[in-house]
Structure 1
Amino acid sequence: MFRRMKLSEIGQIVAGGTPKTKIEEYWNGDVSWITPKDLSSHTSMYISNGERNISKKGLDNSSAKLLPKGTVLFTSRAPIGYVAIAKNEVTTNQGFKSIIVNDENDNIFVYYLLRNNISVIENYANGSTFKEISGTVMKNLEFDIPSLMEQKSIANILSTLDEKIEINIQINKTLENMAQAIFTQWFVDFEFPNEDGQSYKSSGGEMVESELGMIPKGWKVKKVEEVTKIIRGASPRPIQDYIRDEGIQWVKISDASSSNTRFISSTKEFIKEEGRNKSREVKVGTLILSNSATPGIPMIMKIDACVHDGWLIFNEFREITKEYMFHFLTENRVGILSLSNGSVFRNLKTDILKNYKIIVPSSDVVARVDEIFKSINNSIDNIENQITTLAKLRDEILPKLMSGEIRVPIE
């Protein structure tokens, strides 16, 4: 049995606040303070802290409120619709309308209720500069709510799927870290296994001088442009005239920053067919690198798509492989970014990267490590496919569970 209820009947709606930024003693304390930006790339249900903390004095001298563990956090502006659950006591800035769920309702169910109704809630937003959901509007939003027991059953089904997804995400992160550690061991520390299976450098392998310091004998130092072709993406202008709800997948930097893995497997936006020739097409398996906004993020394409001018595209590898270049870019991100420019948004110029120096190992070592990387990548790819399947299942049953189309057994 579902009953029509206002959100204010489900829990207390609480806004947030920001202490004065010029008063240092209000900041860097031990009170967790969450902003919409903290949720922009956050993928798990729970969040414990944001990028910054505030102090007890900052809390007491601002409109920020200390929210109890289990509070459902909902961004009400910039943008509307990020949702998470407080893993511990937290505060938020004014970009939230959070719900302290009462004992007659289940907070995990409310989390999924909001996720399922983001587009509905957005329709109630107002504002000239940016759209926002007011506290009054949030309190008066109405939804069909089942009994507490059914809420718990629905929440259990959906959270079980999300827990499995989260476990797989963590496994993939471990595999990615393992691959990067191998790259560091072989090509930074030069402790790759020699013909006797011993670590090259520490077992006395011959080293020679180079412009990047001592490197194994037979290895070389080249410019990046000598081992791969780099071209910049392109954007049809004005881009707003080409954005569509469906069409050619359009890769933005946010698609990388919100991804759980090294792969781009979907995009949030699309462009119409007429924009294809005004952009750059990339195929499945292509290595791309962000060069603006959040520069220096290497990603591998799992879809055919178009990329804008905030991306660099890598093709035609010589003497090294795509996998070697991916890990090289990851290993050297800080050094590469130190050469970028821009006061507000950092930009990585194509010519800077083309002239960046790279160590080129002997062909046999490249071939050996590539086999290892391919094995790890196959595991990552298989787990990524599991994540996609589980997420698709969750997204398909979510609206059906929330509407009562699918009813669940109540224990």
Structure 2
Amino acid sequence: MSADWPLHSLSEFIGIKHGFAFKGEFFQSEESSDFLVTPGNFSVGGGFKSDKFKYYDGPVPEDYVLKEGDLVVTMTDLSKQADTLGYSALIPTINGHRLLHNQRVGLVEYKNNELDKNYLYFLLRSTEYRNHVLGGVTGTTVKHTSPTKILSYEFRKPPFETQVEIGRKLITLEYKVDLNRQTNQTLEQIAQAIFKSWFVDFEPTRAKIIAKAQGADPATQELAAQAIICGAITLEQLAELEQSLSTTLQAAINQKLSQQSSTSISADQLIATAALFPNELVESNLTYKPYGWNVGKIQDCCKRVESGGTPKRSESAYWSGDIKWLSSGEVRDVIVLDTKEKITKLGLDKSSAKLWPQGTTVVAMYGATAGQVCLLADEMTANQACCALIPKENYMSYVFLAARRSIEDLAGKASGSAQQNLNKTLVSEHELLLPSVCILEKFELVMSSLIKKWIYNCKENIELSEVRDTLLPKLLSGELTFEAAE
């Protein structure tokens, strides 16, 4: 038990090195080989985020290049609640890039070998440590802590072997969460690649056109489209084929269909899907489109487009219920399963909030997240800064991926000086290609298993994070044995 563990301060075992003040004149908007690690790379509750790098293209002191596995802490926070201040993160490897130790981030340096790194990583994410850091915060708009404050934290140090076991159990959960997160990034890339192939580059139609230009008969033209849809061949490879076109395409298709993947479809589905694509492109106000497809608006794909609402904050009976209530800031999460705040049925009935079904795409309309897009994995309500795209049957995946692809365009339509705003009309009238309903049915069939896996991984990550957060204080305090933790 922790009562039997000796009391120590962090200063006995580690120091904290300040980061370097890299010159702003060398900051880049375009990706470079050097990434600056800033407080924006820390997750709420601790851990590393790889989605908010600043790029740098200037001189770099070698003493300020971080290595994989380095333990860092954030010394500054801009949020009202100092959400990440003092928390720790482990530096990952990002192939082809150096991660630089920027100011406002502290690097943990070890004085001896008495603390296990993984154990320390989680110790610096504990509630007691967090309260210690917040107890010495300086600054109002920008919150600060210091190495002195962090190093003065006192804790009961378990034997080294116990530290290793604690760190091992908790880091195993974290690795699984990271793996799911990486898998979901890959799933979105796959989904967007298929969307782009079908609805932006029109590759199945172009495949038919290329095969026809090579003198292929209609049946072989269909094979060319099938090969593109299942990913057995590229348009460039198709254009280079000269002899035995039909035989070569069928062999490539058979080989691809024999491989298992999250987006594989049966041979019959592939044939039926390819047959739906036109064999001609025509001019349109979107440059070109397949013959018979139309240009319309997002609202043409939706049953309803509507904004949310906020129940009166002064009415306690409207809040702390069991109906999920989404804020525009939470739209940053691509898949939304839960919300920080919840309202009651009375709050729903007495406000302009509306209950939106699972599968609704939501666009944030106000502030820093204007133009951001998420998918609701459960029914929920939202505030007035959110716009719901409630899709028609078989339009869910198309609306979601089309909106995700339009994030920059939607954000570019935001107006306002102090705060960038969209409105429901701008969102609903955003121009969109309207393929045939039959094509969209096939696309929904292809996407459904992929998105289900995506949502499953998100749910599992919530569960794993809850288990980790439950185990963390109990293991650090010695309240829970390793056998019970297993």
TM-score, reference length from structure 1: 0.81
Give matches, 1:367-378, under 5 Å.
367-378=441-452
Deviation at 1:115, TM superposition (A): 1.4
Check 1:190–1:111 CA distance in 2 against 1; reply closer, same or farther (3 A cut): same
Deviation at 1:52, TM superposition (A): 3.4
The separation in 1 between residues aligned to 2:73 and 2:478, in whole angstroms, is 24
SS in 2 for 1:340: coil
2:327 maps to 1:328: no
Check 1:123–1:42 CA distance in 2 against 1; reply closer, same or farther (3 A cut): closer
Report if the CA contact (8 A) 2:72-2:107 is conserved: yes
Give matches, 1:338-357, under 5 Å.
338-343=412-417, 345-357=419-431
Check 1:243–1:164 CA distance in 2 against 1; reply closer, same or farther (3 A cut): farther
Further displaced range: 37-46 or 322-331 = 37-46
The separation in 2 between residues aligned to 1:147 and 1:245, in whole angstroms, is 43
2:459 maps to 1:398: no
List runs of 5+ in structure 1 lacking aligned partners: none
The one-letter code sitting in structure 1 at the alignment partner of 2:108 is: I
Deviation at 1:361, TM superposition (A): 1.0
The separation in 2 between residues aligned to 1:212 and 1:185, in whole angstroms, is 16
Paired residues in the alignment total 398
Check 1:253–1:36 CA distance in 2 against 1; reply closer, same or farther (3 A cut): farther
List runs of 5+ in structure 2 lacking aligned partners: 93-97, 209-218, 229-234, 236-276
The aligned counterpart of 1:311 is 386
What's the CA shift string for 1:160-181, capped at 9, x where partnerless?
1211221222222212211111
Deviation at 1:43, TM superposition (A): 8.4
Give matches, 1:71-220, under 5 Å.
71-78=70-77, 79=82, 80-87=85-92, 90-94=100-104, 96-102=105-111, 103-117=113-127, 119-127=130-138, 129-130=140-141, 131-192=143-204, 196-199=222-225, 205-220=279-294
2:7 maps to 1:4: yes
The separation in 2 between residues aligned to 1:120 and 1:326, in whole angstroms, is 40
The one-letter code sitting in structure 1 at the alignment partner of 2:74 is: T
Report if the CA contact (8 A) 1:296-1:337 is conserved: yes
Check 1:383–1:240 CA distance in 2 against 1; reply closer, same or farther (3 A cut): same
Please state which structure has a larger fraction of its residues in helix.
2
SS in 1 for 2:305: strand
Report if the CA contact (8 A) 2:133-2:149 is conserved: no
Check 1:176–1:218 CA distance in 2 against 1; reply closer, same or farther (3 A cut): same
The separation in 2 between residues aligned to 1:286 and 1:47, in whole angstroms, is 27
Check 1:220–1:127 CA distance in 2 against 1; reply closer, same or farther (3 A cut): same
The separation in 2 between residues aligned to 1:93 and 1:253, in whole angstroms, is 30
Further displaced range: 163-172 or 357-366 = 163-172
Report if the CA contact (8 A) 1:150-1:408 is conserved: no
Deviation at 1:252, TM superposition (A): 3.0
Choose 1 or 2 for highest CA Rg.
2
SS in 2 for 1:282: coil
The separation in 2 between residues aligned to 1:134 and 1:239, in whole angstroms, is 38
Deviation at 1:331, TM superposition (A): 2.2
The one-letter code sitting in structure 2 at the alignment partner of 1:112 is: F
The one-letter code sitting in structure 1 at the alignment partner of 2:481 is: R
Could you tell me the percent identity over the aligned residues? Answer: 24
Deviation at 1:184, TM superposition (A): 0.8
Report if the CA contact (8 A) 1:287-1:313 is conserved: yes
The one-letter code sitting in structure 1 at the alignment partner of 2:171 is: S
Tell me how large the CA RMSD over aligned residues is: 3.8
Report if the CA contact (8 A) 1:48-1:90 is conserved: no
